[in-house]
Structure 1
Amino acid sequence: MSGAERWSRRAVLATGVALVAMPQIALAGSAKVKAQLGIRYARAARFQAPEPVPFGQPDFLTPSALGPSCPQHSPRYQPQSEDCLFLNVWTPDPQPARAKPVMVYIHGGAYSSGSVADPLNDGAKLAERGDVVVVTVNHRLNVFGYLYLPDRFPSSGNAGQLDLILALKWVQANVAKFGGDPGNVTVFGQSGGGAKIATLMAMPEAKGLFHKAITMSGQQVTASGPLNARKRAQAFLDKLGGDPASASTEAMVAALSATDPVMGGGLYMGPVLDMKHLHRHPFWPDPAPQGNTIPMLLGNTVAETRAFFPPDHPKLQGLDWSNLAQRAGPELKVDIDPAWVVAQFRSRYPADTAEQIFHRMVTAGRSWRGQVEEADARARARVKKTWVYQLDFEAAKHTDDIGLSFGTFEDPTLARQAMSDTMMDAFVRFARTGNPGWASYSVPDRETMVFDNVSRVVKDPRKWERELFARVPYIQPGS
């Protein structure tokens, strides 16, 4: 398909996908979406595996309050509580003639922050436009969900993942009451949410709980090794200066300011290769076989790092060619000569400013590389049901795909509404049928849907940048 061809009925047919055979996507209409918020799905003592809570008979026609978010450094999401195992459901019709696909959203914020209380995660517009049941989930984060204390608490290093597994079990048992099909569940998540999904695809306890997966700027090629996880736990305990089992919530959050003994900077928390709940790395040395039966849609934004390094960031103040390598090098997270990288990028993109090269380098080296590793691993394993997208619209940065995929984007314009409609329709088509509507990913072609004002399939986009960083081994930050 030519680069100028619009992603239309004709364009999709050109990829070899018979769109006419796919169910039609329901557009937003007059139907009122019903919401049930703050449903408890489990309880958990600190550092312990969660215990399920039987579902009662709530009046899901009347919205209630969102449940609390997990304690974290950011005061953005309130209230916060260690008792945070709640989910929310939106449905266009609780008693449909035919059960609807279910889309379960897992929020980002790495493994340390975030919440589905964010207004961007409101599921009403997606549920209405797609005629699907939308579920969003809160779970334990940072030390409450991932502090590795195996000698005292055997499940502590993966408690947050176990929360998500129980939430998915709740969906299996109860979503039919909301008009959803427990046999057609798609998990989707951005950033840390995508990484959590990649990890679930390697966890035996999650087998069979979901049937399709969408990861948005979030990958987990390797999990944290147990030795590094112990080092991080010790650094946290040293900062805490007390018993983590009895310390106050406030003291636990304050001790998150400990320095990471492995990478420096803030303390990393994430899933641990504990050989109890996680027996292998999700995508190393190959994709976990358990996940190879699951259709997967992977995506990234074209300028991820614009979210991490806004124009007023200290690294960008006074940035020029004389200091670019020094400032960008540590952000690449791989062992490569940053001065050589700068020279290569300057030669390739001679019209770019130092700031533009900074974002190109760091996005390609750090933020995009994991997605390439995962998609290529599935292709090498001959997993046919893999699709990839790249969001180019308005030079998209990290998190820009959240509002577009939910229809909750900020500062609405006609162009953003059109882009949102396109992304929502692709996600829903994937959730409904297991195929988003374009050619699946293969090596060496690396077919990728580029979402933009004119959306199109491109073979191996940013090939030169991919090949440059493929010269060095990929090491998942935090592992």
Structure 2
Amino acid sequence: MVSTPYGAVRGRYESGVAVFRGIPYAAPPYGPRRFRPPEPPEPWDGARDAGAFGPTPPKPPYSEAFAQYLSDPVVPGDDCLNLNVWTPEPGPGARLPVMVWVHGGALTRGSSGVPVYDGRSFARDGVVLVSVNYRLGVEGYGYFPDAPANAGLRDQLAALKWVHDSIDAFGGDPDRITLCGQSAGAISIGALLAAPQAQGLVRRAVLQSGPPEAAERDKVRRMVRRMATRLKIPATAAAFAEVDRELLLRTQAEVGRLSSPVVGGPAFGIVVDGDLVPRDPMAALTEGGAAAGVDLMTGWTRDEYRLWLVPGGLLERLDRLGAVALAGAMARCHAGAEVPRGYRALHPEAGTAEIVGQMVTDHLLRVPLHRLADARPGSTYVYEFAWPSSLPDLGACHALELGFVFDTGDVPESRKLAGEGAPQELADEMHGAWLRFVADGDPGWQAWDDSHPVRVFGDGDTHTAHGPRDAELALWAAAVTPPESTPASAPADGSPTRSTELRSVVRRLRLPGAVRRH
């Protein structure tokens, strides 16, 4: 039993590790609190049972095509702003390093209860692991005229403050907190590192397959307006708060069905709000000196794009489209023709889908993460995960590294993406690197400098390569065109006119429903 600022919680010992699940860090975000910033939970008397995961935030299910690879359990209930703690030594004074995990899922799916994120291995090895739930989709990232933006990010900040104030009682050191997240979780961490309200709360950060960025407010506003049109209500938080949750989720899924990392489209995202996010997070971290004393580790998987393209057969469709798919990728990435020509020259054996996928991966991930590392030499470590899944066509896809980082390759949910035969020695190496970074800021390889050292996991023996992506990334420096501005004849919903090439590719892809709904 451990005391928190709001009451005592009773956990369980599991294989020698103390586990506390479903601890509320904020009040249920419903009723008058819906679409509002998080508020402290009501204190409770006695010991609150913390043996089971708490409710998960409302979210639509993955489509059948993606559900075969990704798990996303649902726990019903309103008290969804909760967190979990795994610790080897509950009680004050132990001063163990702390890792706070922020899950991914495009800010619309995911939860702290995904079995791949089980914190037992980190606790077994001397780290207090905390995983967090936060509001998703329109309830967490809708942009309204009558409510503060970024409610889901505000939830994460509230959880981080709870950890800073409470983790000593669980054996953790509040001065050695590492924020760690993947995909949308990494993007969230970039925003938190740049947020003035979070300064001093974080010692280190790990950004896996997600750069610091802010979405265009108009892009997020279009999602809200299109949902409002379907629901026949005003595009206000007050009106959305009156809508049944299930209807809201179905409408959100319908409106976002054409969005994907490859073809773009309206989507939810963190926006500059003048408050929690006062400026673009990348600019704040690379030019504004934000989080100057925070050590960083960041990286990607070799074939990120394959999780976006393989489910539903999009990989084969792009190969058939050929030049049209390349034109669409150029429009998506605001790139000139020199970029795909350069990729063709560097990878003459690659098919169209691979060229498109690597272009989009570099545009979305590697280019901005290189920029981040270049701005913070000496305190940044970069990795690449290259081990290919044993499942057909997935390669070293987005999210595949998670079972290795958490050393949870034995759970069925990890095998859904990795297949059978995932090497334990690779998990030992990756998990060990994350442990070392969380403990003392040095994962075990050369920090970033002008030689661009990248630690490569899963491509033969683990090794450090210097500048392995420099040739591709150099193509972007001189060949990227500015995004199109919104013309006066833009559609009535405020969406900017897309290029002819991108509209053509969206039509000709004929995305199956399974992919659209992801």
TM-score normalised over the length of structure 2:
0.77
Question: In the alignment, which residue of structure 2 is the partner of 1:108?
Answer: 104
Render the CA deviation track for 1:447-467: whole Å, top value 9, x for unaligned: 211112411122111211111
In the alignment, does 2:289 pair up with 1:278? Answer: no
CA distance, structure 1, for counterparts of residue 123 and residue 464 of structure 2? 27
Render the CA deviation track for 1:96-117: whole Å, top value 9, x for unaligned: 8632101010000121211122
**Per-residue deviation at 1:86?**
0.7
Question: In the alignment, which residue of structure 2 is the partner of 1:324?
Answer: 322
> Residues 312, 112 of structure 1: CA spacing in aligned structure 2 closer, same or farther, 3 A cutoff?
closer
Question: In the alignment, which residue of structure 1 is the partner of 2:166?
Answer: 174
User: Which of 448, 452, 475 is the aligned partner of 1:446?
Assistant: 452
**Per-residue deviation at 1:262?**
11
Q: How does 1:329-348 map to 2 (within 5 A)?
A: 329-331=327-329, 333-337=332-336, 340-348=338-346
Q: Which runs of 5+ in 1 are unaligned?
A: 1-29
Render the CA deviation track for 1:219-258: whole Å, top value 9, x for unaligned: 123x134444434432332222232121111122122122
Question: In the alignment, which residue of structure 1 is the partner of 2:404?
Answer: 404
Render the CA deviation track for 1:127-159: whole Å, top value 9, x for unaligned: 21x311100000001111111113x22x2x111
Question: In the alignment, which residue of structure 2 is the partner of 1:234?
Answer: 225
User: Which of 14, 36, 45 is the aligned partner of 1:48?
Assistant: 36
CA distance, structure 2, for counterparts of residue 366 and residue 173 of structure 1? 35
Question: In the alignment, which residue of structure 2 is the partner of 1:34?
Answer: 18
In the alignment, does 2:61 pair up with 1:74? Answer: yes
Q: Is the 8 A contact 2:24 2:79 kept in 1?
A: no
Q: Is the 8 A contact 1:324 1:358 kept in 2?
A: no
Task: Tell me whether 232-241 or 259-268 shows the greater mean CA deviation.
Answer: 259-268
Q: Is the 8 A contact 2:208 2:300 kept in 1?
A: yes
> Residues 84, 326 of structure 1: CA spacing in aligned structure 2 closer, same or farther, 3 A cutoff?
same
User: Which of 161, 166, 171 is the aligned partner of 2:153?
Assistant: 161
**Per-residue deviation at 1:329?**
3.9
CA distance, structure 2, for counterparts of residue 56 and residue 209 of structure 1? 26
User: Which of 454, 470, 479 is the aligned partner of 1:463?
Assistant: 470
**Per-residue deviation at 1:68?**
1.7
CA distance, structure 1, for counterparts of residue 451 and residue 477 of structure 2? 16
In the alignment, does 2:88 pair up with 1:89? Answer: no
2:162 counterpart letter in structure 1: W
> Residues 474, 405 of structure 1: CA spacing in aligned structure 2 closer, same or farther, 3 A cutoff?
farther
Task: Tell me whether 363-372 or 99-108 shows the greater mean CA deviation.
Answer: 363-372
Task: Tell me whether 307-316 or 399-408 shows the greater mean CA deviation.
Answer: 307-316
> Residues 472, 42 of structure 1: CA spacing in aligned structure 2 closer, same or farther, 3 A cutoff?
farther
Aligned residues: 436
CA distance, structure 2, for counterparts of residue 112 and residue 424 of structure 1? 27
CA distance, structure 2, for counterparts of residue 58 and residue 404 of structure 1? 39
CA distance, structure 2, for counterparts of residue 34 and residue 163 of structure 1? 25
In the alignment, does 2:442 pair up with 1:435? Answer: yes
Question: In the alignment, which residue of structure 2 is the partner of 1:8?
Answer: none
Q: Is the 8 A contact 2:272 2:278 kept in 1?
A: yes
**Per-residue deviation at 1:376?**
2.4
CA distance, structure 2, for counterparts of residue 58 and residue 288 of structure 1? 47
Question: In the alignment, which residue of structure 2 is the partner of 1:258?
Answer: 255
TM-score normalised over the length of structure 1:
0.83
**Per-residue deviation at 1:59?**
6.3
Q: Is the 8 A contact 1:226 1:274 kept in 2?
A: no
Q: Is the 8 A contact 2:73 2:114 kept in 1?
A: yes
In the alignment, does 2:319 pair up with 1:297? Answer: no
**Per-residue deviation at 1:197?**
0.0
Q: Is the 8 A contact 2:60 2:250 kept in 1?
A: yes
Q: Which runs of 5+ in 2 are unaligned?
A: 1-13, 63-71, 234-238, 389-394, 485-494, 497-518
